[in-house]
Amino acid sequence: MLSDMRGITGVILLLSLVSLIKANSSPTITTFVYNVCEDFAIGAIAFQIEATDEDNDPLTYTLSGSNAAYFEVNAATGHVAVKIPLDRESTNVMALQVIVSDGPNQTPGDLTLILLDANDNRPIFDQPSYDISIPETTAVGSSLFKVSANDADTGAAGVVSYSITMVTPSNGVGLFDIVSTTGEVKLKGKLNYNTLGTFYRLQITATDGGGKCNTEDVIILSSNIFSIVTVVDMPDLDPQFVGTPYSGAVLEHTGVGHSVLEVNAFDPDTGVDDPMIYTIEESTPPGLFEISGNTGVILVKGDIDREVVGDTVTLTVKATETNDNIHGVKASTTTTFDISIQDINDNKPDFYKCAETCVVTSQFTGEVLEHSLGSISFDMTVRDPDRNSRTQLILEGPDKDVFSVEPSFTTVDTVVQLLVKQTEKLDFEKVQQIVLQVVAFDDEETTFRSTATVTINIKDTNDNSPVFPEDTYKLSIAEHSAVDTVLETITATDPDTMDQGKITYKLLPENIRQYFDVKPTTGEVYVKNSDLLDRELRSLYTATLQALDSETKPGTTVLEITLTDINDKTPVMNRESYLEFVEEGNNVQVKIEATDADEPDTVNSQIKFSIKPSTYSPSFTINPDTGILINSKGLDREALDPELNGRIQLTVVATDQGDPKLFSSVPVTISVEDVNDNVPAFKSPSYTFSVKEGQKGALVGSVYAEDLDQSSNFNRISFRIIDGGFGSFIVQSSLHTEGYKGDISVDPDIELDYESSRKSFTLKVEALDLGNEKDDVLVEVNVVDVNDERPEFDQVAPLNVKENTTITDPVGKFTAQDKDGNHSLVYELESVNCRCSGIWEPCSFFTLNPAGEVLLDLDYVLDYEVCDLALVEAQVVDKYTEKGENNSAIPGKMEINIEDINDNAPEFIYSDSVYVVVAETASTGTSVARVTASDKDSGLNRQIDFEVTVVQFENDKNETADRKLLFEAVTTQQQDTFIGIIQTTESLDMTVRGRYLVTVRATDKGGLHTDTVLKIFNIDETFKVELEFGISEVEVQSKLFQITRALERATDAHVKIVAIRSEIGSQSRNIEKTVIVAYFVYSNGVPLSTSDVDKGLADPEHFEELKALGLSSITEVSEKEDPGDPVKYALLGILGGLIIVMIVLTTSLLCTRRNYRRKLKAAEAMKSTVNSDNQKGGPVVPGTNKYTMEGANPVLNLHYDTMISLDIDEQTSDVDKVSLNSLDNSDFIDSGSFLSLHIYSNAGRP
């Protein structure tokens, strides 16, 4: 009894001590998802496990699970390095189990590693080659074939583009093309089997879009494949004749069937080579030849008479292919050639008379003039139809010697003429006709001959000339007689009867006919031109009068014509003009002389002088008989019109005394010489001018001065600046319409500056003539500002523009300054660049008008999620710039921040997790599910809050009913991802079966939201399964990830672990086992019973894996008994607690002494204790569960020093002072036996 009391007392003390110990918090793993580049090198740090501990205990890290072999972790830092090369293409997500320990506590965690793609795979073609045969007539643009290659990489690295990188032979480079995105190979140029090529080898390259992950450089990979494109020859070419042009020859009258010529055609389609069929399509003339259809041999078909058919026969021969071409017809070609017909001598010569046609005849007539030489034509043609004949011609008859025949020999068709040999025999007065014969015979065959009679008629000729009665005729007429006045009628006679009434007259030489002429038919000699008959010029004319008969045979006589005088000559001045010089103020005297060509010493030649009235004629007189001219008044140069330049123009008239009186005049110029009797004078009392700065040599203005002296020697003025110029100006003199002009200009070496202190000049300009007479004037010169400064941009502060805005007003404005007073600034856009995804690139979001206003280009939409910053660069130009550069030296820059607005709703991130609620998680505040979401917006706009908006329950009969909000969402954030923890707001009813449909809403700060529906399955306790493992709880915790994955693989179900506990076996004090309490649920929410789980785990494929992980048995959990009234049990518990406290207080004093004695005995026993076979060494404490070797305590697995505390040291840990019984009842499973399943009841379980 005392022993039992001691046991009870120890248990109570242990419980009291445990309740007083402060709990050590477990580490917390803060991040479960990591992005890892697949191209990390062996040994490279892939990531660092992020975990915290509230107690700030040192943490250690270990990895487990099937993927742990790929990594190694630094136990102290949590840095995870790559151990085995990673391959995203094998698996893009890796599960990695980790255990973080702070010493006493361990926290397992399932890490998800998302492998990021690196461009480590080349594009692989689907086929080893792409060989194809295509007809040469394939249309340009046709699709030939399509290549396809796959790249296991993702993103741009997985996008394959195609190109043709080489074509063999090289002349096929332009014939093929490939669509870079689809791999479709198209025909780009026209094929030709015969002229281009019969095959092509294409090298096709597939190139990925390039990518990088852990490297700085973008890696681009490619692969090649070859395609043999065989060109199939098609019948698309017409046949061609060989050896053209053809020609042949055959003798006339050659026998039928004689071979003349062979033609040959071939098919240019060398891959087809179709046989030919030959036909004669046309023959001129027809019917003489035929052709062999197969051989092309041309044969004589009928009798050939060259004199009938001609020298040649023209044949058109067609060659036709045997089979149809690509157009469905038989291709053909033709050739045209001549066959020469060779002549034989088988015809006599004949005489022909040819007009429109030639007719054979033997009678010909001709004419010849008496006493004439030359040829006589009588339309005779001699012809021998034979080609190579030689015809001889002779004359016969009594008068054959008077003529000769021409030609005497001929080989062609020839016109026959007679040539006169004896002209004296051709006398019309003796004989009027001669008859003779012309004979033609074949020189080779003289019996081939013909004879023709030719009659020659002799014609009379005119052989007499006209004759005048006298050899010379003397005629007279007054000068300037009227036109057509007849001097005399003179005629001639001709004895030829044919000339009677046909004689014509003509005056010779030709130049006499400008004065006189004769009427052609009457012989009247008359005046031709009255004006030219001037006795004073010519008083006697000699001419020849000619008479012509009908054949223009001449007869002549001489005419002597004398002119008589009339008063027709005007007096002639001895000089064309008179010029006399005299200084102003002096007198002048000039003698005017004239003559008259009329007959001397008559009134017609007597002359009187006078002055024609004019402006200045009253100042002069002239003697009418002597012609002496003098001035009657004084001469003043300045009194004269300046336009006259000092010259007085007078006209002196000389008049004869004949009837009518004739006169002439002469200009007399009196040049009054100037003397310097005037001084220069400026036109204006002063002058004011302006000139632009900076213009070297620029004209400032002109001053004008005049000297009234009229000669250049005295009125020539020169200008000079005598004061106020400061060496900055020069003046140049020049003649002007009203005197002289002085052009004032800036010195070419001087550049005026408006910005200097001198902005105006007062010049004193002097005008000086050659006689040193002078005048001066003041000239005011103002310097004008010139636009010569470059504009400069003002500083522009950064602007903000909200994305998606459509405002038409300017979003900003460039301004610039120009130091020049007169300017016109125009703004021009240089560039617009945007920062898109961190990279600067050209964009078109903004435009610039000439006023410098920056406007939105409404053809584009501002999107902060694409580009967040724009930089506009502009140039400003001064349109009024007159000198130098007109634009700014530094372009203006405007930074425009694109502000984010809330234009993106949150997006849920898909998860394939299965969420269940079981009895253990059905209490208030229990987390049952989680959702994740992100928002593309930035700042506050991307912050997300989760809330549960609707809760429905769907039972196992698919009946849905609304429920109150049994769940709530708690929002947390992990980097840019927001997590909604779904937890219960009250205890759930676990008696119903089905699933909760929980609508979770993700709402950003701008009110945009997105809903998703979670399925949370309600699993009751009947599906709870307990799994017993023959290893410690610590080992189970370390292998928990492997155990979970093995269970999921074995059952194809989601595993929900709700508890892990340690149990001590009843048969052995050093055997520990661990129980995992879990639910197994399919992805559709259907739970697995214990028997279902048993079947899956019993599969030999999975059994060995689970056995290696320590699984020993599966325990089915029976229904719990009704707990009864909780109030009653609570009262009973309180009462029992009071009784225990009283017992403890009563017995504590009694036990104190015995407890001390027991510890002394235990200490002595430790010295004599020896190690067992399964212990590492060290004494044991009899009657307790404390062992000095590792692993001896199956519950706590604690390490104890051999100097174990016996409560003597007050600083010893309370845990070490408590004796725990490790020999509770349990079943022991031999690790070597087959997995046995035991069904237990909860009854009697401690």
CATH of domain 907-1018: 2.60.40.60
CA pair distance 364, 351, nearest whole angstrom: 10
Structure tokens at 1236: 């046995």
Please say whether the beta carbons of 227 and 318 come within 8 A: no
Burial of 31 (0-12, 13-18, 19+ CB in 10 A): middle
Give the pLDDT band of residue 1211 (cuts 50, 70, 90). Answer: very low
pLDDT at 79 over 90: yes
Asked whether the predicted pLDDT for residue 445 surpasses 70, the reply is: yes
Query: Which is higher by pLDDT, 1 or 178?
Result: 178
Gap between the Cα atoms of 982 and 970, Å rounded: 6
pLDDT at 163: 95
CA separation for the pair 184, 142 (Å, rounded): 10
| Domain 472-564 -> CATH class | mainly beta
**Is the pLDDT at 1194 greater than 50, yes or no?**
no
Sequence-distant (≥ 6) Cβ neighbours of residue 190 within 8 angstroms: 140, 175
Fold of 697-704+715-784: Immunoglobulin-like (2.60.40)
Give me the pLDDT at residue 592, please: 92
Q: Which residues of 874-905 are buried (b: 16+ CB within 10 A; e: fewer)?
A: bbbbbeebeeeebebeebbebebebbbbbbbb
Reported CATH class of domain 1-116? mainly beta
Asked if residue 11 has pLDDT above 60, the reply is no
- The answer to whether residue 1129 scores a pLDDT higher than 70 is no
d(CA 241, CA 336): 11
Q: Are the CB atoms for 793 and 876 separated by under 8 Å?
A: yes
Place 462 in a pLDDT band, splitting at 50, 70 and 90: confident
Report pLDDT digits (tens) over 188-236: 999 988 888 888 999 999 999 898 888 888 899 999 999 999 999 889 8
pLDDT score for 136: 85
Q: Which of 64, 30, 24, 47 is nearest to 1041 (CA)?
A: 64
The pLDDT assigned to 1069 comes to 52
- Read out DSSP for 547-582? EE-TT--EEEEEEEEEEEP-S----EESSS-EEEEE
How many helices, marked H, and strands, marked E, lie in the chain?
A: 8, 84
What's the angle, vertex CA 480, arms to CA 479 and CA 482, rounded to 5? Answer: 125
User: Residue 338 pLDDT more than 80?
Assistant: yes
Residue 111 has pLDDT above 90, yes or no: yes
The pLDDT score that the predictor gives to residue 228 is 93
pLDDT at residue 1171 in the model: 39
Residue 1125 pLDDT grade (very low, low, confident, very high; cuts 50, 70, 90): low
One fold for 472-564 and 572-673: yes
Cα–Cα distance between 961 and 951 in angstroms, integer? Answer: 9
What residues have CB less than 8 Å from 1172, skipping those under 6 apart?
none
Neighbours of 914 (CB within 10 A): 18
240-342 fold: Immunoglobulin-like (2.60.40)
Extents of the domains making up the chain:
1-116, 124-232, 240-342, 350-459, 472-564, 572-673, 697-704+715-784, 792-899, 907-1018, 1024-1117+1169-1246
- Residue-wise pLDDT for 476-503, tens only, equals 888 888 999 998 999 998 877 778 888 9
Average pLDDT, the chain: 83
* Dihedral sign, Cα of residue 269, residue 274, residue 275, residue 279: negative
Residues 350-459, CATH architecture: Sandwich (2.60)
Kindly give, in sequence order, each residue whose CB lies less than 8 Å from that of residue 352, ignoring residues fewer than 6 positions away: 358, 359, 360, 361, 380, 381, 382, 383
Question: Which pLDDT score is estimated for 1130?
Answer: 65
Asked if residue 1088 has pLDDT above 60, the reply is yes
Please report the pLDDT score of residue 197 as a whole number: 86
Residue 376 contacts residue 367 (beta carbons within 8 Å): yes
- According to the model, what pLDDT value does residue 1232 have? 32
Q: What is the mean pLDDT of residues 8-33?
A: 64
Q: Please compute the mean of the pLDDT values over residues 424-449 and round it to a whole number.
A: 86
**Domain 792-899, CATH 2.60.40.60 — does that match?**
yes
In this predicted model, what pLDDT tens digit does every residue of 840-866 receive, in sequence order?
999 998 999 999 999 998 888 888 888
pLDDT at 1216: 39
pLDDT tens track for 1022-1031: 888 888 888 9
The H or E element spanning position 518 is: strand 516-518
Preceding peptide of 624 cis, ω within 30°: no
Q: Which residues, 6+ apart, have CB-to-CB distance to 656 below 8 Å?
A: 567, 569, 570, 571, 596, 598, 603, 604, 605, 606, 607, 662, 663
Residue 1189, pLDDT > 70, answer no
pLDDT at 1234 over 70: no
Q: Cα(446)–Cα(589) distance, rounded to whole angstroms?
A: 113
Q: What is the pLDDT of residues 684-696, one digit of tens each?
A: 999 999 988 888 8
The CATH label, of 3.40.605.10, 1.10.3720.10, 2.60.40.60, 3.40.50.2300, for the domain at 124-232 is 2.60.40.60
The CATH architecture one would assign to domain 572-673 is Sandwich (2.60)
pLDDT tens digits, one per residue of 266-302 = 888 887 888 999 999 999 889 889 999 899 999 999 8
Using an 8 Å Cβ cutoff, are 1044 and 940 in contact? no
pLDDT tens sequence across 381-395: 988 888 778 898 999
CA 1205 from centroid of its chain's CA atoms = 91
